[in-house]
Structure 1
Amino acid sequence: MNTGASTYVVGFPRIGEQRELKKILEGYWEQKNSLEEVVGVARDLRQKHWLLQKEAGISFISSNDFSLYDGMLDTAVMLNAIPARFKDIKDEYERYFSMARGNKNAVAMEMTKWFNTNYHYIVPELSSDMEFALNASKIINEYVEAKECGIKTKINVIGPITFLALSKRVDGNQNTLELLPKILPCYVSLLEKLAELDDELYIQFDEPITVKDVDQRTIELLCSSYKELAVVNDKLKLIVMTYFDHATEAVASLADVPIYGIGLDFVYGKENLTTLDSLHGKKLFAGVVDGRNVWKNDYRETLELLKAIEMKVRKEDIIISTSCSLLHVPYSLEQEEQLAQDIKSWLSFSLEKLQELSELAALFSGDNAKNIAAILESNQRIFAEKQHLPKIVDSKVRERIGKVEPVERNEVFADRVAAQNKVLGLGAFPATTIGSFPQTAEIRKLRRDFKNKLISSSQYEEGIHSYIDSCIRFQEDIGLDVLVHGEPERNDMVEYFGEQLAGFVFTQNGWVQSYGSRCVKPPVIYGDVSRPNPMTVDTIAYAQSRTSKVVKGMLTGPVTILNWSFVRNDISRADVCEQIALAIRDEIADLQNAGIKIIQVDEAAFKEGYPLRKQKIVAYEEWAVRGFKLAVSSASIKTQIHTHMCYSDFNDIIHTIEKMDADVITIETSRSGNKLLQVFASNGYANEIGPGVYDIHSPRVPSVEELEEKIHQLMMVLPPEKLWINPDCGLKTRKWDEVKPSLTNMVKATQKIRRKIQ
């Protein structure tokens, strides 16, 4: 229990300890559960999470950090920013989920990554003729609900500048901030309504857009907006919260704005130390407990950081905080019974981070010297023991780094594609998929039974082969040109490989939300990485033996494995990436030797790992491109290398993608139209591209005519000889009754256009 300095949690995970929200939502969408059950589970989760934080002694606990799908979507609803195609849906829940997931009559709203995390948000669609109006019912109801539980919360709201900056306009104008005068009155009205709820309220306005390289106009609008909001009612104490990097420009601009406090991330934004003179007596919510990674806090280092902060900020004005929302880390270590005890002792999930906040507050305040000494001694013992464990350092891996040749393919693309065309014999715009097929209940049970030793290895292999056989037959029947094996053996595109690599460990229940009901369980990289044995060769070779058509080998790239893992923090990410790249390099060599002619090395998270500040980007690009090129350097001139990237704005990284030099890149374009393609066309991209022609994150089945029109649009941007036809992403989360007609229609549309241009 915290008896020292005040403690602050930016936000708490909402999916539930046992993914309760995921399960009830998916049951509701499948019409197995009622709306009342969804509402009940959501209420129970909120109350449980509030009480847990209260019991941990957290001083500032959030309401409105909970969402049934996404906080940006909630904010769009709060502002009545409802796209026209959903306006006629009267039921508020049906409309809400249709906006997120689409329906039979309307495509879903675009989805993209939340800064450089693996969380996806729904992109609001705005226009100048939109009639913005406040709908504060969710925010008010949750505050009242918390108060009835005996907890007076701070209220989380996505700030107006970040909301607009992360939205898109659909009226031909690209300037979303131009709409600030239209939405700011809604925020003013919100504060007026909230002021009626209590004698004193703390409002957290999330403005993480300020940690990017925003222009001076954005900073000016930030300042003017909070000057207006800060004086709405003197009951309200406004906190501008930033995270993921430093916000020095924003802090300076808000120096004389009468807000209560500012939240700064000192884990990923060390530069924030240089701007503390601009606080001018405001409270500092000091983000010193990492909300994005799972390693235990080194109290000695953190106390040194807090002492450095205290040199510029009065101690009584420092509130000890998480660096960002705990949405990005798992719920608790309590159920991790299979982790090695030493590794488990190094980790800290959401509940454990609450304890870290409390203990750091006690250490910082220095109230109980005896207890403080015991806490610090226990913490430091863990770090001392960790340094000497042989499982962390592998001398063979260290010796190999820097000695491998070559570090990239020797042939230029023009020579490679000529050699590959002779081997592959594919016609105009080949049709394929990204890789995975639906993960059925039977397949999940098969894997689970094998993992739990309820079936033999031969029974498991028989089940996997049976699924592959059916996938191959289906693809041949509908006429796909390049086939995939469907990935029935894979639980997750990163976890599957991590389970076979040294230096990785896996949790039982370490789930984090990716989007909506979709959760992932990132591996934890704790030591040096190597590949003890081939990982995919037997399975891919089996699939290839079942057809005369080409079957792609499917691998996850080193940068994506890194970015979708919780990565050790005792060596650089660049060094970890290089170790993973060597493992993938060896796998490609083995696949190639087994007769696999196309190998896809997915880098879905390549853009996701980009630093948010330009001055940090060059170093990232250098080691990330090197990692990918090192991984594929064992491919011969005849082996075609594909990669896949999703939910990325490629305008600022097109030259980096060129440097990666994959023979074929597949990308997401269906939710965003063809805007992502324009950069490839205008830049004169030489290699081949597979733009996604339909959105796999929606259950909607596209018609042949719709897909035919989509392909025609692609051909206006790209020549047929460079074009591949495929869905946006893998199909593991969809159902067969959605996948089969969608892919069948995709192939029919492709064949119709081929006949027209022949």
Structure 2
Amino acid sequence: MAKVLSANLGYPRIGEKREWKKALEGFWNHKLTETEFLETTKQLRLSYLQKQKDRGVDLIPVGDFSFYDHVLDTAVLFGLIPERFKQHDDAVTLDTYFSIARGNQNAEASEMTKWFNTNYHYIVPEISNQTKPRLTTNRLLDLFNEAKEAFGITTKPVIVGPITLLKLSKGYDATHFDALLRSLVPLYSEVFTQLAAAGAEWIQVDEPILVRTTNNDDLNIFKQVYQQIKAAVPGLKILLQTYFESVDCYADLIKLPVDGFGLDFIDGAAGNLAALEQFGFPKDKVLAAGLVDGRNIWKTNLADTLSQAEKLLTFTGGPEKLWITPSCSLLHVPVTIENETALDPLLKDALAFADQKLSEIVTLTKGLNEGRASVQPALDAARQSIQHLQQSEQRNNRAVEAELADLDKELPKRPKDYAARQKIQSEVFHLPLLPTTTIGSFPQTAEVRQARRKWRKGEWTDAQYNDFIKEETEKWIRIQEEIGLDVLVHGEFERNDMVEYFGEKLDGFAFTRFGWVQSYGSRCVKPPLIYGDVAWQTAITVAESAFAQSLTQSPVKGMLTGPVTIFNWSFVRNDISQADVFNQIALALKKEIQALEEAGIRMIQVDEPALREGLPLKEEKKAAYLHRSVYAFRLATSFVRNDTQIHTHMCYSEFDEIIDAIDALDTDVISIEAARSHGEIIATFEKFAYKKGIGLGVYDIHSPRIPSVEEMQSYAERALQVLDPHIFWINPDCGLKTRKPEETIPALKHMVVAAQNVRAELHHTIPNN
């Protein structure tokens, strides 16, 4: 009998307790041989397939697992390897693969940037006009056969589509796009032909670029590409998968020569539903309906969602033409709630991680196939869990509600404009031309992590732990002085994570023990859960900042994470507006900044590295988001004295899209990544006359390599071709938490020498400096 199918789009790679991360880092640190590493990751991969099979998922993906990043995997599959990493033979070694992602002592890593509007980072493929794509090793075929041999199942291979791959790549002229695409499509066809011969029935081709603004030219490209692929592999069914928003040009899109479309009915619900109701859906194609949120961690309201699924069923050509899926890959959520034994039962009962979301998908599928009565107990339980949390005290803080109600609609403003503040601050701080500083964090060594573990386990008292933090702080204040940095930081040794640390001290947050998600490479983060109203209770950063400042005559920056970043790097309640959560966090941070000022801290950095990543994918939604973001930042910072210098930091984004909003933040100094993108951000300032303090990161901290003085000096000199030296700062492109001391110290020494060299050059050309 024909029936609705359950399908997954992608499963987390990292393991329930980050076993994948440990294997990666063990291999990088030569604690695992390549053979041991490959066997370990194979067993992890198979265990993920086993889980999905046991939960009853009908269509299980392969190709979602990666050693580092799925976009890098696709680029390597088709031989899109930067020239500086090229090998002599066709095979791509693990050493080459990881060098592209992480760099090596002889070559810089490829650029890394955010995957659409998520906190996942992908490695940007580098393609020149002369690049000739080629098929290396068909890893999808290997993974398909591996699953078939282990479990006897026919899986659904997943791959980034050719148009999205090229659109997200860099280095080639736009005029070469068509030629590159023509050379790629036959290689995709070859991969698919081999999969079809091995028994694959469906392949999921991810083309999320379709949720960005598309036009007739774009649609013609899609039509040509998929006509060519279908002609080459007529027996293989293709699911064209989108996510993160609604698709544009729906009426034309559904005419593409593929066998199914994956649509997001969470983040793209309004647009996709409206299009479906207006234009219908082809009866001969599959609708893969993303009805379970793949990016947040709350239980699905199964009763309401089942009603939505029943409505979608009326648009398809039969139950076999509807799949129930997550809205996107489950890469973006933790693995399972089962290990969270310390959470408040009220909260835990309202949560669903990847494994639980798969069960929700199977439940919804069963409800469609066997009737609502067959799943009624599950529907009732989910609704009850959601209602209990909604009625809790944590979500009904009257004091916070009153503060929000009192806010003025006008943007908060500093007492004086930047030009006046700059004059005042220059008289207070007496900094040299091109002042040097760092972004905030210093290496979290094994000793630092061990100390934190001992303290959390109760093996150390608060006094022992605080003494250790003070010792580390003083050690690194002295190191910074010896290096010759102009503005210092306390090092953040007391902090586990730049968001989690603040959330632990604020009302409205909760924390998991194993709720990790991949951010980039082996870097996993454990986002806080913003489940209630956010409120400030007591000073968070004052003691450490004041202690560090007491050790030196140089200014020490107070370090905070901004409201938009805290929001974007958390799992956030979905029952109130984004603006209300932004402003709740901003009001709490405002109280912390007041406390820092009262303690005599005159430089305060409020980091917003995630401001750009939250930018909506639809043009018509961007202005409102940026206004909300600027409002929240200024709500937290604009009240400070004119002689208090406000800094912020952003990284790994296409800043040209938001340069007006960056300017509107009205900070005194902003530091922005430049090295990882090889200085490309500098072009933005050729078009936009930025007049406030700015530091363009002169070296990439995500690579273990130590850049030379000359390399860093070249970035600074290039920036100074478009920026006024009186506003220019020199710094790394991000915090140094993940680096080792033996990498950090020489790199910073090189940076200071580079600054001194450029400063000396400027003294000859700028009078009175």
Give the TM-score normalised by the residue count of structure 2.
0.96
Q: Is the 8 A contact 1:524 1:567 kept in 2?
A: yes
Residues 312-349 of structure 1: CA deviation (Å, up to 9, x unaligned): 22451211010000000000011101001010001000
* Structure 1 residue 602: Cα displacement: 0.2
Superposed, 1:38-437 pairs within 5 Å as: 38-88=37-87, 92-150=93-151, 151-170=153-172, 173=174, 176=177, 179-198=180-199, 200-249=200-249, 251-270=250-269, 271-276=271-276, 277=279, 279-281=281-283, 282-316=285-319, 317-367=321-371, 369=373, 371-403=374-406, 407-437=412-442
Residues 122-162 of structure 1: CA deviation (Å, up to 9, x unaligned): 00011221121112431111110000122210000100110
Q: Which residue of 1 aligns with 2:766?
A: none
Distance 1:743 1:174 in 2: 41
Q: Which residue of 1 aligns with 2:767?
A: none
Deviates more, 1:252-261 or 1:465-474: 252-261
Distance 2:354 2:227 in 1: 34
Q: Which residue of 2 aligns with 1:13?
A: 12
Q: 1:260 to 1:327 in 2, by over 3 A?
A: same
Distance 1:66 1:31 in 2: 22
* Structure 1 residue 404: Cα displacement: 5.1
- Partner amino acid, structure 2, of 1:118: N
> Which 5+ residue runs of structure 2 have no aligned equivalent?
764-769
Deviates more, 1:467-476 or 1:408-417: 408-417
Distance 2:684 2:178 in 1: 23
- Partner amino acid, structure 1, of 2:13: R
Q: 1:301 to 1:711 in 2, by over 3 A?
A: same
Q: Is the 8 A contact 2:607 2:649 kept in 1?
A: yes
Distance 2:371 2:535 in 1: 47
Superposed, 1:524-543 pairs within 5 Å as: 524-543=529-548
1:509 corresponds to which of 511, 514, 518 = 514
Identity of aligned residues (%): 46
Distance 2:99 2:255 in 1: 43
Residues 627-646 of structure 1: CA deviation (Å, up to 9, x unaligned): 00101023111111011011
Q: Which residue of 2 aligns with 1:667?
A: 672
Distance 2:227 2:554 in 1: 65
Distance 2:280 2:592 in 1: 53
Q: 1:132 to 1:345 in 2, by over 3 A?
A: same
Q: Is the 8 A contact 2:55 2:358 kept in 1?
A: yes
Q: 1:224 to 1:579 in 2, by over 3 A?
A: same
- Partner amino acid, structure 2, of 1:233: V
Distance 1:748 1:601 in 2: 27
Q: Is the 8 A contact 1:112 1:647 kept in 2?
A: yes
Q: Is the 8 A contact 2:436 2:729 kept in 1?
A: yes
Deviates more, 1:388-397 or 1:251-260: 251-260
Q: 1:257 to 1:202 in 2, by over 3 A?
A: same
Residues 510-549 of structure 1: CA deviation (Å, up to 9, x unaligned): 0000011000000000000001101000110000001000
Distance 1:670 1:561 in 2: 25
1:470 corresponds to which of 471, 475, 479 = 475
Q: Is the 8 A contact 1:168 1:174 kept in 2?
A: no
Deviates more, 1:313-322 or 1:618-627: 313-322
User: Is 2:700 aligned against 1:695?
Assistant: yes
Q: Is the 8 A contact 1:164 1:177 kept in 2?
A: no
Residues 650-675 of structure 1: CA deviation (Å, up to 9, x unaligned): 11211111111111110111121222
Q: Which residue of 1 aligns with 2:526?
A: 521
Distance 2:753 2:215 in 1: 47
Residues 595-644 of structure 1: CA deviation (Å, up to 9, x unaligned): 11110000000001011001111221121110001010231111110110
- What count of residue pairs does the alignment treat as equivalent? 753
- Partner amino acid, structure 2, of 1:359: T
User: Is 2:581 aligned against 1:576?
Assistant: yes
Q: 1:118 to 1:167 in 2, by over 3 A?
A: same
Deviates more, 1:428-437 or 1:255-264: 255-264
Residues 425-450 of structure 1: CA deviation (Å, up to 9, x unaligned): 11111000000000011111111111
Deviates more, 1:486-495 or 1:400-409: 400-409
Q: Is the 8 A contact 1:165 1:177 kept in 2?
A: no
Distance 1:154 1:117 in 2: 24
Distance 1:566 1:480 in 2: 37
Residues 349-380 of structure 1: CA deviation (Å, up to 9, x unaligned): 000011101111122223472x4222222222
Q: 1:576 to 1:17 in 2, by over 3 A?
A: same
Distance 1:222 1:34 in 2: 43
Residues 97-126 of structure 1: CA deviation (Å, up to 9, x unaligned): 110000111000000000000000000011
* Structure 1 residue 54: Cα displacement: 0.6
Deviates more, 1:634-643 or 1:541-550: 634-643
Q: Secondary structure at the match of 2:532?
A: strand
Q: Secondary structure at the match of 1:662?
A: coil
Q: Is the 8 A contact 1:439 1:732 kept in 2?
A: yes
Distance 1:479 1:383 in 2: 55
* Structure 1 residue 177: Cα displacement: 5.2
